[in-house]
Amino acid sequence: MTSSAKSNHGVLLVLVGPSGVGKSTIARKLTQQLDLCYVVSATTRPKKPGDENGKSYDHISREEFLRRLDNDEFLEYASVYDDYYATPKQPTLGWIAGGRDVLLEIDVQGALQVRYHYPDALLIFILPPNESTLLQRLTDRGRDKPEEIQRRFRSARREIHMARGARAFDFMVVNDDLGRATAEIAMLVNQKKAEGQTRL
Ligand code: ADP
Ligand code: 5GP
């Protein structure tokens, strides 16, 4: 006889990908389709006009960031484009333990740390359909200065290369059509939930 133990913890969904690929846009659409808790990252990056259309952040000082880091309050952290970004540990792990599915939107370095601390996470890397579309999206978003756009675009090549090499991601999803890409990710989350519920 086979025994099956129902897992009560939620799915930790981690969306990763270069700046401008569409993570926040997908995250917004996904939360309309799935019951996901969205974790607000802490960052030392100052607020920018246009931020309200993208990912929400808890903007804090460098001193505050280092204090929280020392206090072991982060699940992961990374230095991206000269600023620190981090996922607060307590709400993330609390929600998962309580059976809620949780969404993180972070960079490759952070995702590798999440994989280490929480091997059961569902790590999805979002790819642009091609490089020129990514540049177009970074430009059309109208949030960053031209030199910042170029910097993010150059960094995207490195991140995509790193993601392919790291082999840490469960799936790579191309954000060509928003509805299609979101539906693919929703299907992967539902599949992961179904697997968790029949784990031996
Ligand atoms: P990220 O969170 O990865 O930095 P955003 O979600 O801010 O990226 O998206 C960057 C820009 O690309 C936004 O202007 C958004 O409206 C646009 N965008 C996102 N996904 C698509 C898509 N599938 N097709 C066309 N435009 C998109
Ligand atoms: P942006 O400033 O464009 O919103 O974000 C810049 C980069 O920081 C993106 O690649 C984004 O995924 C990443 N990022 C945002 N929040 C976090 C976080 O909490 N942890 C890590 N490691 N990266 C993050």
Query: 20 CB under 6 A from ligand 1?
Result: yes
The best mutation among 14, 80, 109 to test binding of ligand 2, ranked by most ligand atoms within 8 Å of the C-beta, falls on: 80
Helix (H) or strand (E) holding 38: strand 36-38
Q: Taking 90 as the threshold, does the pLDDT of residue 62 lie above it?
A: yes
pLDDT bracket for residue 1 (50, 70, 90): very low
Is 44 a residue whose pLDDT tops 50? Answer: yes
Ligand 1 close to Cβ of residue 137 (< 6 A): yes
What pLDDT, on the 0 to 100 scale, is given for residue 178? 98
Q: How far apart (Å, rounded) are the C-alpha atoms in residues 190 and 171?
A: 14
Q: How confident is the model at residue 198 (pLDDT cuts 50, 70, 90)?
A: low
Least confident of 4-8, 65-69, 112-116, 157-161: 4-8
Strands 83-88 and 41-43: antiparallel
Residue extents of the structural domains in the chain? 3-39+99-198
State the pLDDT at residue 2.
Answer: 43
User: Residue 5: pLDDT band by 50, 70, 90 thresholds?
Assistant: low
CATH of domain 3-39+99-198: 3.40.50.300
Q: Ligand 1 pocket check: which of 53, 56, 57, 137 to mutate, most ligand atoms within 8 Å of Cβ? A: 137
The model's pTM is 0.94
Alpha helices in the chain (DSSP H): 23-33, 62-70, 89-97, 108-117, 131-140, 146-166, 178-196
Quickly count helices (H) and strands (E) in the chain: 7, 9
Report CA(74)–ligand 2 centroid distance (Å): 14
User: 89-109, pLDDT tens digit by residue?
Assistant: 999 999 999 999 999 999 999
**Which of 40, 77, 85, 89 is the pocket-test mutation for ligand 2 (most atoms within 8 Å of CB)?**
85
Greatest Cα pair distance in the chain:
63
- The tokens for 48 are 């920018």
Burial 29-64 (b: 16+ CB within 10 A, else e): bbeeebebbbbebbbbbeeeeeeeebbeeeebeeee
> Which residue from 153, 137, 152, 20 is spatially nearest to 81, judged by alpha carbons?
152
Which residue is closest in CA terms to ligand 2's atom 14?
106
Half-sphere exposure of 158 (CA within 13 A, CB side): 10
